[in-house]
Structure 1
Amino acid sequence: MNDPEHRKWSHWFAARYRVGYLPSAAGGRIRYARPIDLEQAAKVLICVSGRTEFLEKYLETAYDLRNSGYSLVMYDHSGQGGSDRLLADREKGHIDDFSLYVRDLRSVIDTVAGAGNRRQLMLLGHSMGGTIASLVLAEDPHLADGLVLTAPMLHINTGPWLPPLLVEMVVRVVCRLGGGEGYAWGTGPFAADLSFRDNPLTGDARRYARMQRLMAADNRRLALGGPTFGWLRAAYEAMRRIRRAAADVTCPVLLLMGLADRVVGLPAVEAFNRDLPAGWLVRYAGGRHELLVEQDAVRNRVVEDVVLFLGSL
């Protein structure tokens, strides 16, 4: 890929990280990346990525956080990125229950990050990863010392003509009729030629093109298409569960939301923040869903806010 910036981050990553695999609760293996000197680290930050995401997408973030005082651990969720896929069609985003994601994160915390060493541990969760990280800490509030959530998936925008309750009802019916492994209506396999114009993820054309190239490269090894009806059913259940359990997430939580986010709902994030014992919500004008691959004017502020929060704990 003819991308000087990505090559710089890739060379830095190759010199400082080791990639390995862990058994997944969903079957197969999950891929992780950890700094080679992690054993000496006093502070660890685990990146819990969103749906469709993968290690290579976070190299810029890892590089920007290299002087934050935290050793960053990354991993790919079961069924996406460089982890084993769950269906014969490897581009279908599928899971039967988010509890499988939760168990995988616990495995990464215990096995890779070495939580038993009682280092300071923080979680950074984006979108779906925010749901997963929050569920983990609702179950075990003392597992981490703090949580950063960027555009957490607490509500999925379905448009003004499709109320979420109606969508969830249809999803449940389709799953009961045996369609859980089919693509959700209106979605399909990964498309490498999706136009930047009107995309809901980022206002940065250069970073958007990089994401598309990464997924299209190497025989589409990293590519993931739309979610299945089964994934949607599991997502609705998980979002309901964590919205009700917000008060159980007792560690300090920083929530970051773009005011132009069309993927997840801001009102649900605001309500979640009000229910947290120690939550702070920061809003970014012009920011879309992918705040860590946004335009520099937004992204630089996001990275700065994350570093300040990490340093305050």
Structure 2
Amino acid sequence: MHHADAPYRHDLADGPAEWSCHWITADDGTKLRVCNWTQATPRGTVFVFQGRTEYIEKYGRIAQMLVQCGWNVLAIDWRGQGYSERPEHDPMQGYVEHFAQYQKDIDALIDYAKSIDLPKPWNMVGHSMGGCIGLRALHRRGDEFDHVTFSAPMWGIEFGTFMNPFASTIAKIGVSLGFAKSYVPSASSECYLLMGEFDGNRLTNDPENWRYMVDQVKGDQELRLGGPSFSWVNAAVIEMNDL
């Protein structure tokens, strides 16, 4: 099966020398970007499920380490982020109507992996939101994966001491009142990496990793993503509670 080439910023990713990046399509027509980093004699394949606001290039150095350890690495930009298709009403907004949409991305990714005969065993690494999506994928298609690793999985969201008891209700009410496509309070279209400095950031304790990520979003604005919508938060809470 032929897959059209997709853009990939190897210069920003600092990843393995051997790679291929393609477009795939979910069964609802959503266009998705995938990247496969390879090595000559792979032990198997590691599927990388990224977090919210993330993108394939952010995992370039991790892919390099995994490839050096003998693994092929397959990553995807979830719908609405990276180079994958974004919502027309606001490409910078984190938006889905329900988390089941991400499972369509999973299905398309697995179909792609099978079409290019990626070597097994297949191992999943799910980070943050990718941990939530990955856990659901295990319920649906657990027989596809041999081993799973979760990194800070999004199985709950910390909204703050005051907001925690009310956040899910506020999100639900916001959607019911017609604010599904509006940003939640304190969120905007601004990319978090460009809003502040390393000191006090919520993403990393490593200054070099901070510079790596900032350089990426400064180097390619297509990689940037802003805050979540009421719809995304409501869908996330429903999914986490159900899991």
Q: TM-score range by the shorter chain?
A: 0.7 to 0.9
Contact 2:93 2:228 in 1 (8 A): yes
> Structure 1, unaligned stretches of length 5 or more?
1-5, 243-313
* Structure 1 CA distance for aligned equivalents of residues 176 and 110 of structure 2: 34
TM-score, L = length of structure 2: 0.87
Deviation at 1:42, TM superposition (A): 5.2
CA spacing shift, 1:25–1:141, aligned 2, 3 Å: same
Residues 1:95 and 2:113 are matched in the alignment: no
Residues 1:59 and 2:69 are matched in the alignment: no
Residues 1:200 and 2:179 are matched in the alignment: no
Deviation at 1:48, TM superposition (A): 0.4
Contact 1:25 1:101 in 2 (8 A): no
* Structure 1 CA distance for aligned equivalents of residues 229 and 22 of structure 2: 28
Q: How many percent of aligned residue pairs carry the same amino acid? A: 27
Residues 1:22 and 2:24 are matched in the alignment: yes
* Structure 2 CA distance for aligned equivalents of residues 157 and 92 of structure 1: 20
Deviation at 1:70, TM superposition (A): 2.0
Contact 2:38 2:71 in 1 (8 A): no
Query: When you count helix as a share of all residues, which structure comes out higher?
Result: 1
**RMSD over aligned Cα atoms:** 2.3
CA spacing shift, 1:18–1:178, aligned 2, 3 Å: same
For residue 81 of structure 2, what is the aligned residue in structure 1? 80
* Structure 2 CA distance for aligned equivalents of residues 8 and 163 of structure 1: 37
* Structure 1 CA distance for aligned equivalents of residues 195 and 11 of structure 2: 23
CA spacing shift, 1:138–1:132, aligned 2, 3 Å: same
* Larger relative contact order, structure 1 or 2 (CA cutoff 8 Å, min sep 6): 2
CA spacing shift, 1:9–1:183, aligned 2, 3 Å: closer
> Residue by residue, what CA displacement relative to the aligned partner does 1:211-259 show, whole Å, maximum 9, x if unpaired?
12211323x11100000010001101111122xxxxxxxxxxxxxxxxx
* Structure 2 CA distance for aligned equivalents of residues 167 and 35 of structure 1: 39
> Residue by residue, what CA displacement relative to the aligned partner does 1:105-131 show, whole Å, maximum 9, x if unpaired?
122122225598882111100000000
Question: Residue type of the partner of 2:36?
Answer: R
For residue 45 of structure 2, what is the aligned residue in structure 1? 44
Contact 2:97 2:235 in 1 (8 A): yes
Deviation at 1:26, TM superposition (A): 5.5
TM-score, L = length of structure 1: 0.68
Superposed, 1:172-187 pairs within 5 Å as: 172-187=172-187
Contact 1:19 1:34 in 2 (8 A): yes
- Matched residues, number: 232
Residues 1:240 and 2:237 are matched in the alignment: no
Deviation at 1:171, TM superposition (A): 0.5
* Structure 2 CA distance for aligned equivalents of residues 56 and 145 of structure 1: 25
CA spacing shift, 1:37–1:238, aligned 2, 3 Å: same
Deviation at 1:41, TM superposition (A): 4.5
For residue 232 of structure 2, what is the aligned residue in structure 1? 231
> Residue by residue, what CA displacement relative to the aligned partner does 1:60-95 show, whole Å, maximum 9, x if unpaired?
100111132321101100000011112332110111
> Structure 2, unaligned stretches of length 5 or more?
1-9
